[in-house]
Chains A and B, each alone.
Chain A
Amino acid sequence: MTATITPQAVPSLAPPGGRGRGRDRSAAERPSAFGTAVLLLGAVYCLLPVLWVITASTKDGSELFSTFTFAPSTHLWDNIVALTQYRDGLFWRWMLNTALYAGVGALVSSYISALSGYVLAKFEFPGKGKVFAILLMGVLVPGVILAIPQYFLLAQIGLTNTYWSVLLPQLISPYGIYLARIYAAAAVPTDVVEAARTEGAGEMRIFTRIALPMMAPGLVTIFLFQFVAIWNNFMLPYIMLGNDQLFPITVGLSGLLNQGATVPALYTLVITGALLSIVPLVILFLLLQRFWRVDLAAGAVKA
């Protein structure tokens, strides 16, 4: 990332030259009990519901509403089996669907964002400002509002209730384009691009061979961001899909909860399903920790 600091931001507290570097070093590095406590408190607050869902998944139906919250039981395996047996493994199909939607969707969307961000960062052309502004306005529009008209439009081509109906609308990510533009501006030096041009390389070739690799770390962030957004999306698949074989987990679990008055809500299945659905994302986070660098404002300098 390019530095966003200017000299004015730094108060001049010290005369030039290093004097007494070792002084008070131990005091400045002494572990702060207060600071650490605050962090741990935050961690506990954030982990509380996760802890709850873990213990609740170990309970069977009758224990769920009759035992103390955080006292675990032994039925986790039974619950997982029951969940798997529900309509012949439909839950796992939902998991696969979600992975498909999120994986393919985020991959393609990231590529398009990268391409668009690169063009917006590295080219000068008439209307560029307007194009960017219009794209950004897409961030302002909530998904709930878009979902119904999108449904009508797709119904005209007969694409509703298919995998495409959930994949296609999520390929465009204005926020991803915004981020990509910042990364492209920061990570791809214009002279390298110019040099490649003078050597006669085509624009797409320059993008694929030179720019893309340079933007890679930022692109991982964009990919992960869109992956999580699609994984957690409820409204769009809810509207688009009627065939429950195509559901992602969010819609599937919600359906288990809302079966109407005459059927009991399948709480244990929902809770176990919720736990299992969180696991893949958590693993993804832990594995790719170092790529989670979301620097929104760096681009403000270069935009």
Chain B
Amino acid sequence: MDKVAAIWNKSHPDIQITVNKQDGGDAAVTKLLTAIKAGSGAPDIMQAEYQKIPTLVSADALVDLKDQGAGDLKKEFTDGTWNAVTLGGDSVYAVPQDSGPMMFYYRKDIFDQYGLSAPKTWDEYAQDARTIHQADPTKFLGTFSSGDPGWFAGLSQQAGASWWGIDGKAWSVDIDSAATKKVADFWGGLVHEGVIDNNPMYTPAWNTALNDGTQVGWVSSVWGPGVLEGNAADTKGKWAAAPLPNWDASKPSNGNWGGSSTAVTAQSKHPKQAMEFITWLNTDPEAVKALAQVANIYPADVNSSAALSTPPAFFADQADFWSIAAQSSKDVSSFTYGPNVNVAYSAYTDAFAKAAESKDSAQFEAALNTMQSTTKNDLVKSGFTVK
């Protein structure tokens, strides 16, 4: 991000941008919220993942950019992405930067060894998982990660779920909808059978597994190549990318894992200049290209994502990588995030960690119920009207 900011700084001597890197995830948001509450200490501009926007908005942390002319940017982005930064209303709280349509990565060499091809449906995925694990009990097609709520949210999104909803002046919480149950039961069943691992991703153990071939697939997102390059560089050339398996091959759909936007904080003394910068950052072709190259992201700006041609370094010989990504992005269904995403995500981690550890599929459904009740009760306790 420094490098991209440097490009701007060179050509805009009157508006200089300094980049501060924080802990990714919850911590940065919490610090911002604390700073907002305390009245000082917040930066001018903030990188905000889509699911955090309602939380930030409800804390009065973000400037409404519609007053800065943000409405003109609507045409640069897909409806789904635009919806995420406007929360369905007229106000624009952030400018989308990148999106994270989910994809599937797998070890082509091992698939070839067992005569398998990339699964097109989840049934095929389950079958492939069984085949691989039975042939070699040390190998797993994937793992169920209790540490990555965004991953599970994306999968639920693909199945048609939307965990929150707005109904007039009330919120609704629908985490235990049939769609999400379907996803939870699917993975619970596979963990129960033992053909899918039950340990979290992004750990030294998981990195080791990627390297030594005991994890032969990864349900991930379009930014996956960067992570694989960083943690499993030795296995370069052995992986292939494919669209995420579908529930119904005739009705493709997809979900998002991650993806962020850029917002102007309420404590900024230069909202106009800040808006200039973030418009440039997320829509100017040169900036977006730099972002994609340097930060390994998939731009939300529709013109720029169409312009990507060279596949990422980790998949250098997969020429159709970006067309898979583009199609995956088109298939993303809508999803509404509520004001207490953090609570839901933290409940997910606690409840599903227990379920995953027990390897008992009944506990997966129980975990989902816990997640629903915790999230709903939290909203009620805070004084929201919940339908």
Contact = CB atoms under 8 A, between A and B. Distances in A.
Interface in A10-40: none
B38 A87 contact: no
Nearest to A152: B38
Contacts, number: 102
B23 interface: yes
Contacts of B150: 261
A87 B1 CA distance: 10
Interface residues of A, number: 32
Interface string B37-79: 1111111000000000000000000000000000000000000
A88 to B, nearest CB: 8
Given A242-B20, A261-B257, A261-B258, A65 B41 contact: no
Contacts of B232: 62, 65
B211 A65 contact: yes
Contacts of B257: 261
A65 B211 CA distance: 7
B100 interface: yes
A160 interface: yes
Interface in A168-194: none
B185 interface: no
A266 B207 CA distance: 12
B31 A244 contact: no
Nearest to B43: A242
Contacts of B135: none
B229 interface: yes
Contact of A151 (B20, B34, B100, B202): B34
Contact of B35 (A155, A244, A259, A267): A155
B308 to A, nearest CB: 17
A281 to B, nearest CB: 24
A260 interface: yes
A262 B100 contact: yes
B220 to A, nearest CB: 9
A242 B35 contact: yes
Most buried by B among A161, A242, A244, A259: A242
A65 B231 contact: yes
Contacts of B211: 62, 65-66
A103 interface: no
A262 B25 CA distance: 10
B127 interface: no
Contacts of A87: 2, 21
A242 B208 CA distance: 33
Interface in B1-30: 2, 20-25, 27
Nearest to A260: B24
B234 interface: yes
8 contacts: A65-B207, A66-B212, A155-B35, A155-B41, A160-B35, A254-B23, A262-B221, A265-B202
